[in-house]
Amino acid sequence: MYHFIGKQVRVHLYSREGIAVGSITGRVADIAKAVEVADGMKKDLVFVVDIQTGDPEHPYKNSAGLEGESWFAVQDIEIITEAGHKIFSN
């Protein structure tokens, strides 16, 4: 999983009901394995920085109110290669 660090990624965002609501792009800066995100549920997470929403008027804010960075589940990202091809992480 550490091969994700430094890679440009697209993060697919979902509502709590599991409905796709859009995507953002950024760069993976860190990895956390087997983080308990709910009782009995562990997920591998990536910390994404330099997040771009595609709209400079509406920057991405995480749940703590910080702009341009957040943790996301690995299964919700895809690596964006230099050639423009997409590689899904799962």
> What is the token pair recorded at 40?
């009995």
Q: Give 10-residue mean pLDDT values along the chain (90 residues).
A: 89 91 96 95 96 93 93 94 56
Question: What pLDDT does residue 87 have?
Answer: 54
**Per-residue confidence (pLDDT) for residue 2, from 0 to 100:** 75
**Number of structural domains found in the chain:** 1
CB 46 within 8 A of CB 31: yes
Name the residue range of residue 42's domain. Answer: 2-88
CATH number of the structural domain spanning residue 50: 2.30.30
